[in-house]
Amino acid sequence: MGDPGGFRRDWYNPRPMMNPTQQETDERYMRLAIDAACVAQENGDVPIGAVIVHQGRVIARAYNQREQLKDPTAHAEIIALTQAAAALGLWRLHGCTIYVTLEPCPMCAGALVQARLDRLVYGCADPKAGACGTLYDICRDGRLNHRLSVTAGVLADECADLLQAFFKSRRRSSGADTDES
Ligand SMILES: [Zn+2]
């Protein structure tokens, strides 16, 4: 796997803590997702980041690249899923947890189900497109052939602040309303 964002190794796989609680572990990986989101922002993309963890190891970290790649499917989660599948050599990502700064959209939630991840942890909810508890609940829909356990609201304020600051500065520079979705 390449290193397109010039990431520092020290946060790629941070040193394990002594007997961390689930919340401490979740916050720790969410901080990595926030760091990835900051790279998206530097590229002029909406700051959304994702990391995937398998057996205590980060096997994917990605950020929204929709503008950078001119690709409507280049959401952080989709890129992270591709990286994780490549890292494991499998399309079934059993045993994996994905951490995302923003509640996944319908496309990404569908992809998480397709990839058979165990667990989704996200930061802030997305009232406009959230498909993991807000508008839809795709990851926990009993009619589908796989379900994920979902933890919402991890470092939600930090994740939301990042997005709000981005849109505020973009509105200021464009002087007009922009498409935030
Ligand atoms: Zn998405």
Active-site residue, selected from the candidate residues 24, 67, 77, 158: 77
Instruction: Check residue 9 and give its pLDDT.
Output: 46
71 and 49 Cβ atoms separated by less than 8 Å: no
Query: Which range has the worst mean pLDDT, 6-10, 53-57, 136-140, 147-151?
Result: 6-10
Instruction: Check residue 10 and give its pLDDT.
Output: 47
Q: How far is the CA of 16 from the centre of ligand 1 (A)?
A: 29
Q: How far is the CA of 57 from the centre of ligand 1 (A)?
A: 23
Residue type, 73: T
Tell me the mean pLDDT in the region 168-181.
Answer: 72
Q: Is 42 a catalytic residue?
A: no
Whether 52 has a pLDDT exceeding 70, the answer reads yes
**Cα separation of 101 and 103, whole Å?**
7
Nearest residue to 62 via CA among 92, 95, 44, 38: 38
pLDDT in tens, 120-129: 999 999 999 9
pTM: 0.88
Nearest residue to 88 via CA among 58, 122, 50: 58
Give the phi and the psi of residue 8 in degrees, each rounded to 5. -80, 140
Tell me the mean pLDDT in the region 85-110.
Answer: 98
Q: How far is the CA of 173 from the centre of ligand 1 (A)?
A: 25
Whether 5 has a pLDDT exceeding 90, the answer reads no
